[in-house]
Amino acid sequence: MIIGVMAVQGDFSEHLATLKTLNVQTQEVRLPKDLEGVDGLIIPGGESTTLRKLFDIYKLTDPIKRYAQSGNPIWGTCAGMIMMAQTLTDDRPEPLNLMNVTVKRNAYGRQLNSFEADIPVSVIKGNPIHAIFIRAPSFTYIGENVEVIGKLNDGTPVAVKQDNMLATAFHPELTNDVRFHKFFISLIK
Ligand code: GLN
């Protein structure tokens, strides 16, 4: 099994490091050909406007969309979640339109308003997940077929699943807890 991590921008090395601790083979994805033979794909956090520009420059936009639409597991964290959305409340960047959700960028304010919270995640057994939010996005609309799997204490949804697709507003790759990555791997048939 090989998990690909989009490696054009953002905190891809943290995702790769987490996957390595799980003894999973990884592939850094920088060009469309890197998607060949990849069984699951992670879009990391970073800066969504830059990510989107680089996807276009390296001709990755359509291959990523086709990859997801073919039913392959794909997971976006933070800026990656922004990419997964159908629509944004901002007029840029143009998201990949994969999940039936609307996303608001920088929903909790600026860098200074970054925060951490322990959240129960319905698909993960045991203790709550320690979730790190860095200039995090939020969902302003969650459509049909999208399951909320994690919420803040006040009920704000922060993790969702739609069939083969996952999106989280927070960064499991920045903690030592590997359970979210394990869950993602479990989506691979
Ligand atoms: N605020 C960033 C954006 O809009 C996302 C932040 C992150 O990925 N940690 O792209």
What mean pLDDT is reported for the chain? 97
In this structure, the strands spanning 25-29 and 2-6 are: parallel
Query: CA-CA distance, 45 to 80, in Å (whole number)?
Result: 6
pTM recorded for the entire structure = 0.97
- The residues lining ligand 1, judged by C-beta closer than 6 Å to any ligand atom, are 45-48, 78-79, 82, 105-106, 134-135
Write down the pLDDT at residue 189.
80
How many domains, the chain?
1
Residue to mutate (ligand 1; options 14, 77, 78, 133; most atoms within 8 A of CB): 78
Q: Which residues face 74 on adjacent strands? A: 41, 165
* Residue 126 CA, ligand 1 centroid: distance in Å: 28
| For the CA of 136, the nearest atom of ligand 1 | 6
Is residue 144 annotated as part of the catalytic site, yes or no? no
Write down the pLDDT at residue 41.
98
CATH number of the domain residue 162 falls in: 3.40.50.880
| For the CA of 49, the nearest atom of ligand 1 | 10
Domain that holds residue 161: 2-186
The mean per-residue pLDDT over the stretch 139-167 comes to 97
Query: CA-CA distance, 84 to 78, in Å (whole number)?
Result: 10
pLDDT tens string 36-47: 999 999 999 999
pLDDT tens string 120-143: 999 999 999 999 999 999 999 999
Is 107 exposed, middle or buried (CB count within 10 Å of its CB: 0-12, 13-18, 19+)? middle
**Structure token pair of residue 93:** 């960047």
Is residue 130 annotated as part of the catalytic site, yes or no? no
Write down the pLDDT at residue 112.
85
The mean per-residue pLDDT over the stretch 83-87 comes to 98
| For the CA of 10, the nearest atom of ligand 1 | 8
Write down the pLDDT at residue 39.
98
Q: pLDDT category, 113, cuts 50, 70, 90?
A: confident
Write down the pLDDT at residue 158.
98
Is residue 15 annotated as part of the catalytic site, yes or no? no
* Residue 15 CA, ligand 1 centroid: distance in Å: 16
**Structure token pair of residue 49:** 């406007």
